[in-house]
């Protein structure tokens, strides 16, 4: 396997020479500082630029006998300019990975200024390189004894794993459950983890899968997965009602759609969010009509169940549908559902009347969106308009019907596990 070694170069050449000799790489990338007092000259400068305790020595390349094809130099102008050094190291490592795919990549941060070492370490962790450090016996706190130096790998995987864990937590808290889960799954497949970290990663993978299932309205699957985990933070009464595990009012699905819309909007997917709000508004009326006595089905309205004075109006609707070739059923749309509730003097119909014009305006905007009947995407203002009127209709409607449901938004992952959103 091809081995690529990248090193930061400072005032001492000995550890750089040791690292190259120990790893025997196919290509060396020296990261050195420029300028008259920089370390660039020690890489391949003339004469004896490597300063020693007893006598000076030839350049690093000369000591190692490297040909021009076996090394390259990345020069940084200022050894203490962290942003520039980090960017240079990252670009160099990424470039080497593209040039030599599938190689073994090692980054040794022994030499160079502290800033250069930090820049290389961060870039190496980001790019997935192995880390190396030259160490030896220390007779004092000043320097390592000559002849005792040995290059060795540093266990950086746990550090990188914890960085990725934090990235997965951010994705989870931004409702990107599938992305967070995929990132975490990669951790347990890449290398062994300490038992406590492995346990945390596996629990978090299950949380991602469980809430992803719920986010896709697969409530039974969500219960199955989340029941295997510590229950603190999971809104179990709401989820179990949605999954049919406990007694439900029938309106839980309405609030589930509203919460789902909020999650879509939080990620900037306003068309998706409004589509869910539309369905929540429609479902609210359908559930109420189905729970009346006698129950009414808006997909096939039984006119015999209507008061006699309302039947002629809906009989005309049947005739119109048959003329259009839609069949003999009387099917009602969203606004027709609410107008029927209002005609029946239903409590939800009475809540609807003052909101009718606002709802029509919001629906008009929605109907021209790309996910409805138009070609324009909705923006945040369009979502907020729909969210305000649907939220008021749902809140006041359920209150009028005497329905009380606790439907919190999905929790977040905090340092100690799940906790309610807003209480982190």
Could you give the residue ranges of the DSSP H alpha helices within 174-269? 177-190, 195-215, 219-226, 236-242, 252-266
pLDDT of residue 331: 87
* C-beta atoms surrounding 342 within 10 Å: 16
Give residue 264's pLDDT: 97
Looking at the structure, do residues 7 and 143 belong to the same domain, yes or no? yes
Verify that 74 and 204 share a domain, yes or no: no
Beta bridge partners of 76: 33
Domain annotation covers residue 123: yes
From 137, 154, 171, give the residue that closes a domain: 154
State residue 138's pLDDT score.
44
Cα atoms in the 13 Å half-sphere on the side-chain side of 62: 15
Same domain assignment for residues 231 and 339? no
The reply to whether 65 and 189 lie within a common domain is: no
Q: What is the pLDDT of residue 189?
A: 83
Q: How many domains does the chain have?
A: 3
- For 142, the 3-state DSSP assignment is coil
Asked whether residue 134 falls in the same domain as residue 9, the answer is: yes
Residue 179 lies in a domain: yes
In a domain, 311, yes or no: no
Q: Are residues 77 and 146 in the same domain?
A: yes
Residues of the domain holding 172: 161-246
For residue 369, is it within any domain? yes
Q: In this structure, is residue 25 part of a structural domain?
A: yes
pLDDT of residue 149: 66
Distance CA 221, CA 260 (A): 17
| Cα–Cα distance for residue pair 228/204, rounded to 1 Å | 12
Residues 35 and 88 in one domain: yes
The set of long-range contacts for 51-58, using a CB threshold of 8 Å and a minimum separation of 24, is 51/11, 51/12, 51/13, 52/14, 53/146, 57/13
Domain co-membership, 15 together with 80: yes
Are residues 30 and 147 both part of a single domain? yes
- The residue behind tokens 């890449």 is 190
Last residue of a domain, one of 112, 134, 154: 154
Provide block-wise average pLDDT over 10 residues at a time, the chain (424 residues). 95 90 96 89 93 84 95 93 95 96 95 94 92 68 54 82 92 97 89 87 94 98 93 90 95 98 96 95 97 94 93 85 77 93 97 96 78 76 94 97 96 88 66
| Domain end marker among 105, 138, 154 | 154
Same domain? 141 vs 201: no
What is the domain-level CATH number for residue 66? 3.40.50.10770
Q: Is residue 326 part of a domain?
A: no
**CATH at residue 169:** 1.25.40
Nearest-5° Cα angle at 197, 196 to 203: 95
167 within domain boundaries? yes
Q: Are residues 383 and 356 in the same domain?
A: yes
Residue 37 included in any domain:
yes
- Pairing, β 150-154 against β 130-135: antiparallel
Q: What whole-number distance in Å separates Cα of residue 154 and Cα of residue 124?
A: 12
Residues 9, 67: one domain? yes
pLDDT at 388: 96
| pTM for the predicted model, two decimal places | 0.79
Q: Where are the alpha helices (DSSP H) in 47-176?
A: 60-64, 82-99, 114-127, 157-173
| 345 contacts: CB under 8 Å, gap ≥ 6 | none
């Amino acid at each position: 396997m091809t081995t690529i070694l990248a090193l930061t170069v400072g005032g001492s050449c000995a550890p750089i020479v040791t690292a190259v000799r120990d790893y025997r790489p196919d290509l060396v990338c020296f990261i050195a500082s420029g300028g008259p007092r920089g370390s660039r000259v020690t890489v391949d400068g003339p004469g004896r630029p490597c300063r020693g305790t007893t006598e000076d020595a030839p350049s690093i390349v000369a000591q190692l006998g490297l040909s021009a094809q076996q090394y390259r130099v990345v020069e940084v102008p200022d050894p203490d300019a962290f942003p520039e050094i980090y960017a240079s190291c990252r670009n160099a490592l990424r470039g080497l990975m593209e040039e030599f795919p599938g190689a073994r990549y090692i980054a040794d941060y022994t030499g160079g200024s502290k800033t250069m070492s930090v820049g290389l370490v961060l870039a190496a962790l980001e790019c997935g390189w192995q880390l190396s450090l030259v160490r030896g016996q220390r007779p004092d706190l000043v320097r390592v004894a000559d002849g005792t130096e040995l290059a060795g790998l540093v266990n950086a995987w746990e550090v990188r794993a914890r960085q990725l864990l934090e990235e997965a937590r951010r994705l989870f808290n931004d409702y990107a459950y599938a992305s967070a889960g995929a990132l975490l799954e990669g951790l347990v497949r890449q290398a062994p983890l300490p038992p406590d970290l492995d346990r945390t990663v596996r629990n978090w993978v299950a949380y991602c899968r469980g809430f992803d299932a719920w986010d896709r309205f697969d409530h039974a699957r969500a219960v199955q997965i989340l029941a295997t985990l510590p229950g603190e933070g999971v809104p179990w009464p709401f989820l179990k009602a949605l999954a049919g595990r406990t007694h439900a009012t029938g309106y839980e699905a309405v609030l589930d759609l509203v919460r789902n819309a909020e999650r879509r909007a939080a990620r900037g997917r306003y068309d998706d969010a409004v589509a869910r709000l539309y369905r929540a508004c429609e479902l609210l009326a359908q559930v109420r009509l189905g729970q009346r006595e006698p129950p009414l089905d808006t997909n096939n309205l039984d006119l015999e169940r209507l008061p006699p004075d309302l039947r002629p109006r809906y009989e005309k609707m049947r005739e119109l549908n048959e003329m259009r070739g839609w069949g003999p059923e009387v099917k009602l749309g969203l606004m027709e559902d609410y107008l029927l509730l209002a005609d029946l003097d239903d409590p939800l119909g009475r809540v609807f009347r003052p909101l009718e014009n606002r709802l029509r305006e919001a629906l008009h905007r929605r109907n021209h969106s790309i996910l409805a009947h138009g070609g324009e995407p909705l923006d945040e203002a369009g979502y907020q308009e729909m969210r305000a009127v649907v939220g008021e209709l749902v809140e006041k409607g359920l209150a009028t019907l005497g329905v009380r449901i606790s439907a919190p938004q999905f929790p977040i992952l905090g340092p100690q596990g799940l906790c309610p959103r807003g209480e982190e």
